Amino acid sequence: MTPYRNRLSLVFSLVFLIGVWIPGPAWAACLGAVAQNPLYWPALPPAQEKAKPQLAGLSLAQAQPAPRGGEVLLRFVGHATFWIQTPGGATAATDYNDYMRPPAVPDIATMNHAHSTHFTDAPDPAIKHVLRGWPYMGKPARHNLSYKDMRVRNVPTNIRRWGANDTEYDGNSIFIFEAADICIVHLGHLHHTLTPGHLADIGQSDVVLVPVDGGYTLNQVQMRDVILQLKPSLVVPMHYFSESTLERFLSLLRESHEITLSQESSIMLRRETLPKKPTVVVLPGPH
């Protein structure tokens, strides 16, 4: 090999090593096994969105604590809606709908369409990215969005079709929010346990936001099995309608998890302070 080719080979080797060893984005550790294509579901231009209805819903205008370096703010707004804010100022609202709106207009809104408390046809036109979790033109929703220091992607799952004894394939999306080396998994309106393919696509699960009503979504025993499949450090229940329903779910996890009842609707998440023993944290809010 000529000296020139030797030098060229050395350069390519160095470039490869740099690409391998230089740390990637904060969400790199969260990636699942399958790379998702950018969204099939197109964002509608503001002129095509329906007029925003006048709501007499929940008001949560009080000031938000600001995340510091390495922290992600997670706030329970109510039902299945959470507010997520990154150290870099990116914000997201889950299951964005007409009944429980977050404290401010988010940069990113994710939605599921099982019924009206999980989506809206009239998202605020100021939202930069509206990610719908159900099929469009016969194709499953596929989202892979990077905005500031947040990444949002989805894994489609099936749901029972309301009023009919059949299945709506890919009718729900599990959304994964990745920032500050924290992987937050919102299970949406999950109706079945997860296959090995789902688990591979989801990847690392640090915090799981789980519907625990036991009827409209998956039954509580199987939902516990999903948590055992995902193995998160932190479980946050949602979508449970009553304290007695919540207590039945907590009783299933008392032997395997610590149970904490928070006095605040917000928690700060940091990689270094995630609990060593799996923990369930109940955040107060309308359910």
For the stretch 185-203, pLDDT in tens is 999 878 788 999 999 999 9
Confidence band (pLDDT; 50, 70, 90) for 49? very low
Confidence band (pLDDT; 50, 70, 90) for 180? very high
- Candidates 31, 49, 204, 197; CA nearest to 111 is 49
pLDDT value at residue 259: 96
Mean pLDDT of 265-284: 95
Confidence band (pLDDT; 50, 70, 90) for 88? very high
pLDDT value at residue 74: 97
For the stretch 89-148, pLDDT in tens is 999 999 998 888 888 999 999 988 777 777 688 899 999 999 998 888 889 989 999 999
Reported pTM: 0.79
CA distance 175 to 105: 19
* String of DSSP letters for 23-84: ---TTGGG--SSPPPSPSSPPPPGGGSPPPPP-------SPPPPP-TTEEEEEEEETTEEEE
Assess whether pLDDT exceeds 60 at residue 34. Answer: no
Confidence band (pLDDT; 50, 70, 90) for 86? very high
Confidence band (pLDDT; 50, 70, 90) for 159? confident
Look over the chain and give the mean of its residue pLDDT values, rounded to a whole number.
79
118-127, 174-183, 263-272, 277-286: segment of lowest average pLDDT: 118-127
- In the DSSP assignment, the letter for residue 278 is -
Question: DSSP 3-state assignment of 214?
Answer: coil
pLDDT value at residue 217: 74
